[in-house]
Amino acid sequence: MIEIINLTKHYGEIKAVENVSFSVNKGEILGFLGPNGAGKSTTMNIITGYIPSTSGTVTVDGYDIMEHSREVKKRIGYMPELPPLYLDMTVTDFLDFCAQLKEVDKKAWKSQKDDIMELVKITHVQHRLIRNLSKGYKQRVGLAQALVGAPEVLVLDEPTVGLDPKQIIEIRKLIKALGKNHTIILSSHILPEVSAVCERVVIINKGKIVAVDTPENLSKNLTDFTKFRMTIAGPEKRVKELIQQVYGVKYLEVQNTGKDDECSYIIEADKDIDVRKPIFHKLAQVGYPILELRSLGLSLEEIFLQLTTEEREVN
């Protein structure tokens, strides 16, 4: 649906985006992740045709953004970081204006308008001036604006920034629901957001892509060991010895649980060797029961930090 090839944007000496290439499939929710100032907004502004790129191409549904910008713009609903709202208009007037601006068929708009307002839950504030709405509602009107004309692609730049936790959860749910019949690019610097909503993640840092994968794969591939936590009843010293004897165990850390006869152990082992079974057998022989076994995957947060800091070291 969206193809981005070798996208580059320079502001004089500053390279805001460099050789960024990725594609978004139809119906996919793609997370665009990176620290502040990584080039997320610049990339999104280029995809939506707000600013031109220095070099590289963007095609949406087969149309090039530079050559057929009108066709591309018809297919994209964009919600920039600062929702573009006319504060002196009421919600309905503003949405009507957007529909005219986007050349939505008048009859189609009549039925669409109520659906959109229902979806983002702004029906009850429709006759109020946008100026008087709270931040959360302004954000929703901004989202409603992007939905006008039922575009196939939605580009959302940090849609939950500045909202309270309850609103954030609501907006995320909404985006997930929208993902059923839209192709969505969503940018964020908040990691749980991306892992909660997106099917695929593009991590960008200092204008360059550092990783593209599903959140799960990212966490799998980036680690060359498996990590889990075991709580075992038995004397600490003896248990520690037993575990260390198992082939494949690379690292062991003991955490006290506060109870006399049991301890927690953080175990890291080679990725290819399953050490859980031998540990169980060993402990069973001497009668020390395993009370808890939990796998500790690398969280997206750790991956993110790892990727973006590694990049820094290279530079």
Token reading at 312: 């820094």
Q: Give residue for tokens 């969280």.
A: 299
Q: Which stretch binds other proteins (CB under 8 A): 42-50, 232-240, 246-254, 299-307?
A: 42-50
Contact between 82 and other proteins per CB under 8 A: yes
Strands 200-205 and 2-11, bridge-based pairing: unpaired
Select the residue interacting with other proteins from 98, 122, 125, 194 (CB under 8 A). 98
Choice between 79 and 300, CB closer to other proteins: 79
CA distance linking residue 174 with residue 138, whole number of Å: 15
Nearest alpha carbon to residue 190 among 31, 25, 3: 31
The 3-state DSSP class for residue 275 equals coil
Q: How far is the CB of 86 from other proteins (least distance, A)?
A: 6
Choice between 98 and 147, CB closer to other proteins: 98
Contact between 85 and other proteins per CB under 8 A: yes
The 3-state DSSP class for residue 27 equals coil
Select the residue interacting with other proteins from 63, 97, 225, 280 (CB under 8 A). 97
Contact 174, 144 (CB under 8 A): no
Contact between 45 and other proteins per CB under 8 A: yes
Contact 207, 36 (CB under 8 A): no
Contact between 74 and other proteins per CB under 8 A: yes
Q: How far is the CB of 73 from other proteins (least distance, A)?
A: 4
Choice between 82 and 305, CB closer to other proteins: 82
Contact between 42 and other proteins per CB under 8 A: yes
Contact 278, 203 (CB under 8 A): no
Contact between 56 and other proteins per CB under 8 A: no
Contact between 100 and other proteins per CB under 8 A: yes
Contact between 272 and other proteins per CB under 8 A: no
Contact between 101 and other proteins per CB under 8 A: yes
Q: How far is the CB of 163 from other proteins (least distance, A)?
A: 17
Contact between 16 and other proteins per CB under 8 A: yes
DSSP 37-49: TSSHHHHHHHHTT
DSSP 51-111: S--SEEEEEETTEETTTSHHHHHHHEEEE-SS----TTSBHHHHHHHHHHHTT--HHHHHH
Q: How far is the CB of 16 from other proteins (least distance, A)?
A: 6
Q: Mask: binding to other proteins, 130-159, rule CB under 8 A, as x and -?
A: ---------------x--------------
Contact 232, 288 (CB under 8 A): yes
The β-bridge partners of 211 are: 203
Q: How far is the CB of 213 from other proteins (least distance, A)?
A: 27
Q: Which residues bind other proteins (CB under 8 A)?
A: 9, 11, 16, 41-42, 45, 48-52, 70, 73-74, 76, 78, 80, 82-89, 93, 97-98, 100-103, 145
